[in-house]
Amino acid sequence: MDRNRRGTTTHIPGEFVHRADPADIIPTGWTRLQENRFSVSASWPAAHPFFSPVAGDRHDPVLVAETIRQTTMLIAHAEFGVPVEDQFVMWNLFYDTDPEALAVDGPSTDIHADVIVSDVVSRGGRLRELRTTVVLTREGRFLGTGGAMARCTSALAYRRIRGERMAALGRPVPLIGGVAPELVGRDDAKDVVLGPGTRPGQWQLRINTDHRTLFRRPNDHVPGMVLLEAARQAATLACGEGGMYLPAAMQASFTRYAELDRPCWVEAETVPGADTAKTTARVVGLQDGSPVFRCVFTSPARALAAAGAGHGGRRTV
């Protein structure tokens, strides 16, 4: 693709957003407005095998996180010259949405992302870190805001850092049993990423390397998207809302790689708050006794999430 054809892009290369399936590619084009400001167009599908609507008629708020993640990588590759073989780590990721604005409208939704890039760190002429702050709108209506802090590592440096762990690349991972899909707001057992734990409020990460969306390619560690989905499913279980759970706001931090060959335990609890119109769940992922990630989700109270919903689960479009 010619990088000078900004604003006219109709196809985003999968390697720019680290996606192999065109159906999983959310951005549709970009324009550089200023040195550190970009306009990115995107499309949210109403019918997708994984990012299907939640709470009856709402776009999955985790689409906001995925939009921010893909937008950050797109800008890093297309505008800052990061080689496509470089590795990305999102150390921090957050979003806050308007639940009412997430209502599904038609077979697809055109989204506009206004992106500010800051805290840029370069070494040896190569981008190493950047922060993105994103505001999402649809036909001028505010959808949500969010951002990410990403670090880029060259392929050579990544292999050196991971060392013998690279041997796990593509190695089969035993698939453990999962919790019931309806308990975590899923229709299909293949989308369940949690198995039973050893005590209440705890579950084991369930790794399905054959999942086309969660594992786009062979990996030597658990992708961050899998961890984020595990956190969301754990929050759903903690809140006991199944298909009506609407994670309208999220703050996540990742502290280390989650290894494929070691059990990762996901723990969740609800957190009392002064605002009775909202429910907050705190989730932590642990491996070998050390934190891998921490997430906090905020959702509307069940009665608010259910208002206007067609039924109590994910909708098949």
For residue 175, the model assigns a pLDDT of 95
What is this structure's pTM? 0.89
Residue 313 has pLDDT above 50, yes or no: no
pLDDT of residue 3 exceeding 70, the answer is no
For the chain, percent of residues with pLDDT exceeding 90: 66
Q: Please give the pLDDT value at position 314.
A: 54
Cα torsion 160, 165, 169, 173 to 10°: value is -170
Q: How far is CA 126 from the centre of its chain?
A: 26
Dump pLDDT digits (tens) for 261-303: 999 999 999 998 778 889 999 999 999 999 999 999 999 976 3
Strand ranges (E), the chain: 27-34, 37-45, 87-97, 108-123, 126-138, 141-153, 194-196, 202-205, 249-254, 264-271, 278-287, 290-300
- Whether the per-residue pLDDT at 8 is higher than 60: the answer is no
Output the pLDDT for position 302.
Answer: 64
pLDDT band at 316 (very low <50, low <70, confident <90, very high): very low
Q: What are 177-189's pLDDT values in tens digits?
A: 999 999 999 999 9
pLDDT at 310: 43
Q: Above 80 in pLDDT, residue 9?
A: no
Instruction: For residue 4, count CB atoms less than 10 angstroms from its CB and return exposed for 0-12, middle for 13-18, buried for 19 or more.
Output: exposed
Radius of gyration of the chain (CA): 19
Question: How many C-beta neighbours within 10 Å does residue 272 have?
Answer: 7
* Mean pLDDT lowest among 7-11, 133-137, 147-151, 166-170: 7-11
pLDDT of residue 217: 80
> What distance in Å separates the CA atoms of residue 127 and residue 304, rounded to the nearest whole number?
43
Tell me the pLDDT of the chain averaged across its residues.
88
What does the pLDDT look like over 206-243, one tens digit per residue?
A: 999 999 899 888 888 999 999 999 999 999 999 998 88
> What pLDDT, on the 0 to 100 scale, is given for residue 193?
98
